[in-house]
Amino acid sequence: MERMAASSEIREKLRNKRRALQDTLVKNKNEDDIQALVPSARFNVDQQPTAMKEAEGSDEDPGETLRRTFRAQRQRRKKKLLEQSFVQECHDAEDAEEVPNARRHSANEGSADRADDSVVSTRPPTGSQRALSVRSEDSSSSQHLDTYVTRHLQEKLRAARSKGESLQQQEASEVSAEPVSRLQRLKNRDTVTRFDREAEPISAGRQDDPLALRSRVKFREAGRRVVKDLPTAEEAFNFFTFNYEPEPPSQQEGVSRKRQKRRERVKKDKGEDSQEEAEVEEDAEAEEDNQDQNEYQSEDAPLVRNEDDLFAIDHSPQDFVEMRKAEYVAYRKRVQRDRELLFTPSFRTVPTSVKLPENMKPRFLEDEGLYVGERPPVSLTNENILENRILKMAEGNKWFGDDGKVIALPDPIKESSTRPPLFHMEGDLDPALQTVYRKALKSKYANLYIAGAADPEGDYQLDVDVSGLIFSHHPLFSREHVLASRLAQLYDQHLSRQHNNLTGHLTDKLNGLRNALQNMMKIHGEQGSSEALRQRISEYSLEVRNTRQLRDTEQEKDRTLLRSVIKVWKEIKALREFQKFTNTPFKLYLRRENVDRASDERDYEGEILAEVLELEAESEGEYQKKLAEYKKQLEDWKLWRRKQKAKRKKKKKKKKGLAQEDTEEEDQDQDESESEGPFEEGPAKPQPPERPDVDSMEQWVREKASRIRRKPGEAILIPELSASGSITASELCPRAEIARREDVSRRSLFIKILYNDKEVSRTDSRSLSADFRVHFGQIFNLKIINCPHSINLQVFEEVGSSCSLLAQVFVPVPDPSVVTGSAPIEEFEFSSNQRVMFDHEGVGSDVPLSFESDGSNRLTLLTSGKLSCCVSWGIGEEGVPLAPPVSQQPGGTHSGRWHLDAVSYIGASGLYDMKKIGEWATQSRLDPNDPKNTSIMQLLKVASSGEVTAPDYFRLEHLQEEFNFVTDEELERSRRFRLLRLRNQEAPEFRNYKFVPLLEREVSDKVFQDYEKRLKDGEIIDTREHLDPHRALVAKYLQKIRESVINRFILAKHFYQLSDLVTEEEIPSIGILGINLFKLAESKRPLKPQRKERKKVTAQNLSDGDIKLLINVIRAHNIPIRKPLGNKPGQSSQSALQGSDWYLSQVQVRPFVEVSFQRTVLQTTTADGPNPSWNEELQLPFSAPNGDYSTSSLQSVKDEVFINIFDEVLYETGPGGKERGTSIHTQIEKHWLGSVKIPFSTVYSQSKIDGAFKVNTPAVLLGYSREHGGSSSVYDQWRSTHGGTFLRLFLTIEPQLVPGESVREKIKEAEFDSQEDERLLQAAEKFEKEAAQGFPDRPCITTVTDLSGKTVFITRYVRPLNPPQEFLDAFPNNPQEATTLVARFVSLIPSLPDQVSFSGTCDLWSTCDQFLTLLAGDEEEHAVLLCNYFLFLGKRAWLVIGTAIPEGTTVYVLTHEQSGYFIWNPSSGQFYNKDDSFCPLQTVGCLVNADNVWYNVQENPSPLNTNFDITKSNMWKPFFSRSFSHPGLSSVQPEELVYRPIDRAAAAELQDRVEKILKEKIMEWRPRHPTRWNRYCNTTLKQFLPKLEQSRGQDVAEGHRLELQNLLGDYRIAGFPLHLPFSEIRPIIEAVHSTGVHNIHSANVEFALAVYVHPYPNNVLSVWVYLASLVRT
């Protein structure tokens, strides 16, 4: 124990030192042991887990002694080293931190010191904040240092050693007052926050583990410390530890260890510590490798812990965040506190006495007879609250009047609203006040941003310095001002001329030239003339002349200016004299400069001489030139003259021949020359040039000289203008002048600065001074974003409050090089043409004014002046000019367009317009050599060279190519991409194509074969499939319609409704809600099972095998029974005679049901008798095409459920016919009796089908009879008339699939267009909705979709239409027959459910002509056609919309005849009496005829119970009623139907082909057996078929059988005719196959087959197939 204590002590010392190095807290360095103790205590307080560990380690691991000794030695070594450095640093730190400690030390002595020190050291190492708090704590010595630890320690120590200190005693007394709680606190208290909290007594019961641990660890440390002084460490330790909480969980150790390690690492990295430390750590780490980690941990933890102190950053938030319980404040206390803060005004009425000043009685004005207004009603409570509140305030009383009530206006509410009334009616508004909408104008500069202006460096600044302005004329000028300003101007001119000294320059130049000329002349004279020299001389002399002329004009100007200056000055003087006051301070002085007269004269003369000489020389030269010219001209003239003469002579000779005389010629010649001269336009005879007059020249020169030059000897006059003159004071002036001056003083001016036509600033208003100058001296810094376009300074003049625009000055935008400071102030002239007149001395503006006494020489002056200002670019802080870069600047010109940047100039879109780019490039004078512009120049070059013509279209996606990952051609070529695209387009072949191959080469060409074939086959009609070109055409047509409709649906499918995505309960009505609520309360009745709704399954989750088709075959009625076989014809009669005997003895029939669906065939057990009951459930698996279980896919499943009834016949065959019992071979044959077909789509859309199905039995069943021998009940009688076999079935799909959303509704959503009136559509929708609400199970249809997808009102389909004429002619006298014939005709048109054809539960109603052309249609088309025929036949007929078995919602036809109402199934041609219970129609929804739609509102919708009297409005709700009358809807049906004639030849051909195909098929189905055809039978059967057609399948069986038996006596015959409407060959084959005739495998079987096709008009064909199997007996 001792040793351990020592080692720990050493460690602690080490720690302490390190801390001292690092931290600020310094202990008393003289007390080594204390120092050693202190940090450890501190440490432990701060960081309990590690210290904890240490304590554990030291206590519990005695086995590690050896290791520890080593370590202790090392530590000791280190300690020594550290101590040395430590001592030094301590001194430094002492000053800062020692003060409080010192004080404490003085207070505490002896061993208590140690304890106390430990207290001090518990200060956390988090930084100065805490140090501060500690200090303040310490300095306030009155504050007891009641850190609980301290107290505890002190107490214990005192108890042990009975030593007390004054301070401690004080504390001890407190402590002893509540020792238990203190202990508790001690455990739980957070020592870190202790200092801050000590004043507050609320600290009980903290339970946070870490804190508890912390303090506990500290105790241990303290205990260990005590060891030194106490007799036994053990004793103290036990004392401190025995009553504390259990050991901390060990996982904390692990955590802390990790943290340590990291810190060690950190420390290493920082390398702050001394070498020794590093060494120690390395040792420690080395040790770690082969030591138990826990052990290591406990040993080294303190060391590391110090590191933690070093790096305060490493404190986790937990070190700072204090966890403690929420404070609880006792309720009463809280109430009390609240009461101090809160005031709740009472509701109670305030006694009047309180409200009034003391000793005052309330005074009621009303009582005194004064009028007191009625106060607005305020609730008494509120008034009381208010009064109470007011009273609470200081001086609350003054709010109350004499009557003790709150002072208020009699009625604070105004009678009328103070808000101006609003005019709602536009018409009421004064038209002048009406608001007019004007579109917001966009500034044209708004978008012209300086490039780069967005970035922070790009802020540009224009400095506009407006220094002032001077008026050169102002309306308020007096006459004197006018003159003075003129004088000033002249003087300015004079000064500037003087400054420029043009005259002097020119004179010098002239002299120089003269000298040079003289030199040249000299050379010329000496050396003779060379051509070049002469040329130069002439050039020089020309130059001399020009210069001289220039000088003369300048001299003249100077002279004139001087004169006018003097003249104006004289005028001013005269004016001042005249008006007797002075307005302007100008004074002109003329300074004379005397000159030396002699030299001046000499110069003057010399000058004149020189000039004269020159002029002479010039004029001489001129003369010579002219003379030479003259001579030349003269020569020319003479020459011409001679020619003329010669010509004339010739003429004469020609005219007069040779005989003419010479003299005459001469005369003639003379005359003609005179007369012809003008005619012939010869050059005039040149005049010889005059000799220049030298004398006059000199004269002229002198004159000029005297005019423009100073006279020789005359003094030089230098004018000097000064403003030193005094202005006459206003009092001395006449009234008019005073008025003027006053006016001037009233005026003030300011300048608005407009930048890009927007006012950005304005100067202060400055008053106009008497000298008409205004000084502003203001500089405006404009931060600009937009390109500078114009800077405009507007000068405004203010008179009183009104101000008027005087003038505008446009200042050019400065060059970027012009920056503030370097830019000179420029003067800009302005003027205004305002006309101003005054009645005082002011001259006004635009007013004629004359200075002459006679009023002549008027001049008109306009307001004008000069504005001196300066616009320059600002300079930034670093002297950077805040000007946009030069490249963005306009090309030096201010006016014109702004070509900052191509994009901003021509706009982004223009970038693609080569012309514009070119334009821009030329305008902006793009530097072609600038590398920045190379691309543009290149582009321009290319564009202008014409090789590449710039596209004149708009390039929207000019970067498109960058996004193309392959070229378009490649995209086209790639099969993979093609596949992907086709799939995306939902092409039927690829709609659900899976696994588009990854690589191009893996896409086989086969994939596209079907698709391409379909595309190619678009127009080609394949007749092979259809056996009939017309059908093939129709099929194609149908295909096209289907495609278009499907496309439409694909579109519509993407219109989602909420119900497509979310399943939600319907909004329950109150009733249902009530029932449901009631149900909740209802007790469970397990013995009353309730039908549960099956959960509907969405199709997407399904896969193959999940869906099953359940068929419950319940029973059948009236199955045909076998007829006894007889070899002899008489046998039948015999059997008839046997009667009941036979009936009882013989097996009538052993029927079973076979169901086939999607290649699966299942059958029931065999039952007995004609009315068997199976009650069996068959499960057929269902798989969707392509494994696609989406709704649309399921809807388009075309598969049908075939339910066939067979008779199982056992034959005994074999040799042992006679030896019964030994060996009996029985052979089972099944004979087809009838079938029911149910399309899957029906099952799918209805989800379940339940009912009795009429079995489609052949008209003749050879060997069977429907008559039940012997039975002759009424029921049988009745049944025989109907001759139906019925099969009761229940079909459903398991699990229940959600039937596809009716696309019809979607179409409504998608708003397929309709030609119907909107009102009608709405009414229809409403009608249907109401119907659906009233009777949800009764269908109601008012609008339907036609083939083009348009919504059509249903009544438009009903219209009398003619049936084929043949039918009418066939039975002219028997309308009943005609009716049935018509019905048969209609039923012969093949049925094709819309759902199948149009993939979706969409009813498309085609008109009758369309139907007859298509020769395929749904029930509704059949019904419409039948109904229309009946109407034509004069019957009363309606369409019945209802539900039937198995079609579901369907359309039947109702006719009314004398015998009652009949219901026709248009698809089968059957009719039923309304009372027929076997009628497939189950519910009657509504009736439709051409005029109206009636909805069935009767109780029971079955036809049996329905009253069809539509006039009764309580039973039938009409659509069109009095309130909404029939709008006269025209029919969509054609007027008349045209039928194609019967084509018998085609029928015969088809007949042969069908027969051939069927025979082939049957043989194909019997691959292992020979198929023999009984030809004789074939022909016989063939003869029967036409008869069957004629009798329309009526019972003619008996005759057949007899006939056949006669023919084929030796055969056992089983056979039947099948009857089908013809659409395609495939259904016929299917039907034949489903009978299973080919399945008879007996060896001696023979077959017979006959086909008959009966043609009807319009290519409607009735197909009969007679099948028979013959077994030779």
Partner 1 sequence: MPNPSVFLLTVNGQIEGANFPDYDSLYCKYCYVYGHDWAPTTGLEEGITQITSKSTQSHRLIWNFPLEITFKSTNPSGWPQLVVSVYGPDVFGNDVVRGYGATHIPFTPGQHTRTIPMFVPEPTWRLQKFTGWLLGRRPEYTDPKVVAQGEGREVTRVRSQGFVTVSFHIMTKDMKKMGYDAGPSSPSAVQSEAQSYVK
Binding site for partner 1 (CB under 8 A): 980, 983, 992-999, 1002, 1004, 1054, 1056-1058, 1060-1065, 1067-1068, 1073, 1076-1077, 1098, 1100-1101, 1298
For residues 913 and 897, give the distance between their C-alpha atoms in angstroms, rounded to a whole number: 18
Identify which of residues 419 and 1092 has a Cβ nearer to partner 1 in the complex.
1092
* Residue 400, beta-bridge partner list: 406
- Rounded Cα–Cα distance for residues 1302 and 1344 (Å): 13
How far apart are CB 987 and partner 1 at their closest, in Å?
13
CB of 1011 to partner 1, least distance (A): 16
β-strands 1404-1405, 1343-1346: how paired? parallel
In the complex, least distance from residue 1076 CB atom to partner 1, rounded to whole angstroms: 6
Q: Name the minimum Å distance from CB 1306 to partner 1.
A: 12
CA proximity to 1291, closest of 1113, 1158, 1479, 1447:
1113
**Other residues' Cβ atoms within 10 Å of the Cβ of residue 413:** 7
Q: Smaller CB distance to partner 1: residue 970 or 1317?
A: 970
Q: Nearer Cβ to partner 1, position 1188 or 1250?
A: 1188
Please state, in angstroms and rounded to a whole number, the distance separating the CA atoms of residues 1569 and 203. Answer: 106
d(CA 321, CA 46): 13
For partner 1, the closer of residues 510 and 1003 by Cβ is 1003
- Measured distance CA(300)–CA(257) in Å, rounded: 9
Is 1671 strand, coil or helix? strand
Please tell me whether residue 1227 adopts helix, strand or coil conformation. Answer: strand
Question: Least distance from C-beta 989 to partner 1, angstroms?
Answer: 14
Q: Which is nearer to partner 1, 328 or 1056 (CB)?
A: 1056
- Please, what is the minimum distance in Å from the beta carbon of residue 1056 to partner 1? 3
Residues near 1282 by beta carbon (within 8 Å), at least 6 away in sequence:
1476, 1478
- Tokens representing residue 1524 in the block: 């909404």
Which amino acid does the sequence have at 916?
A: K
Complex with partner 1: residue 1298 or 1368, whichever CB lies closer: 1298
Give alpha helix (H) positions in 580-693.
597-656, 662-680
Distance in angstroms (rounded) separating the CA atoms of residues 807 and 751: 10
Decide whether 684 or 999 has the Cβ nearer to partner 1. 999
Torsion, Cα 443 444 447 449, to 10 degrees, reads: -110
* Distance of closest approach, residue 984 Cβ to partner 1, in angstroms: 9
Q: Residue 1483, exposed/middle/buried by CB under 10 A (0-12, 13-18, 19+)?
A: buried
List strands edge to edge, sheet with 1160-1163: 1160-1163, 1151-1157, 1200-1213, 1225-1239
> Which residue(s) pair with 1455 in the sheet?
1437, 1462
Cα(1356)–Cα(1493) distance, integer angstroms: 11
CB 1638 within 8 A of CB 1563: no
d(CA 1318, CA 491): 92
Q: Which is nearer to partner 1, 724 or 1101 (CB)?
A: 1101
Residue 1158 · residue 1180 · CB < 8 Å: yes
Q: What does the alpha-carbon distance between residue 227 and residue 2 come to, in Å, rounded to a whole number?
A: 8
Judged by beta carbon, residue 1002 or residue 1317, the one nearer partner 1 is: 1002
Closer residue to partner 1, CB minimum distance, 1057 or 1374: 1057
Q: Rounded to an integer, what distance in angstroms lies between the CA atom of residue 900 and that of residue 922?
A: 13
Closer of 518 and 964 to partner 1 (Cβ): 964
CB of 1081 to partner 1, least distance (A): 13
- Phi, psi dihedral angles at 782 (to 5 degrees): -105, 115
Q: Which is nearer to partner 1, 641 or 991 (CB)?
A: 991
Considering the complex, state which of residue 980 and residue 1021 has its C-beta at the smaller distance from partner 1.
980
Do residues 1160 and 1181 touch, judged by C-beta distance below 8 A? yes
Element (H, E) at 1043: helix 1029-1053
Residue 437 or 995 having the CB closest to partner 1: 995
CB of 1082 to partner 1, least distance (A): 14
Please report, for residues 451, 457, 924, 926, 1647, the alpha-carbon distance to residue 885 in angstroms, rounded to integers and kept in the order given: 9, 12, 14, 15, 105
In the complex, minimum distance from the CB of residue 1100 to partner 1, in angstroms, rounded to a whole number: 5
Longest dimension (CA), the chain: 189
Residue 725, classed as helix, strand or coil, is: coil
CA atoms of 297 and 314, how far apart (whole Å) = 19
Closer of 1060 and 1610 to partner 1 (Cβ): 1060
In the bound state with partner 1, the residue whose beta carbon lies nearer, of 331 and 995, is 995
Rounded Cα distance between 521 and 1331, Å, is 130
Quick one: which of 5, 11, 61 has its CA closest to 295? 61
* Two structure tokens written together for 28: 């008393």
Q: Closest separation between CB of residue 293 and partner 1, Å? A: 20
Could you give the CA distance from residue 304 to residue 320 in angstroms, rounded to a whole number? Answer: 19
- Give least dist CB 209 to partner 1, A: 14
Closest distance to partner 1 from the beta carbon of 1524 (Å): 31
Q: How far is CA 1176 from CA 377, 1114, 1173, 1244, in A?
A: 87, 6, 9, 21
CB of 1066 to partner 1, least distance (A): 8
1443 is written with which tokens? 């539900």
Q: Are strands 1611-1621 and 1660-1672 parallel, antiparallel or unpaired?
A: antiparallel
| Residue whose CB is less far from partner 1, 1044 or 1057 | 1057
- Closer residue to partner 1 in complex, CB, 279/1188: 1188
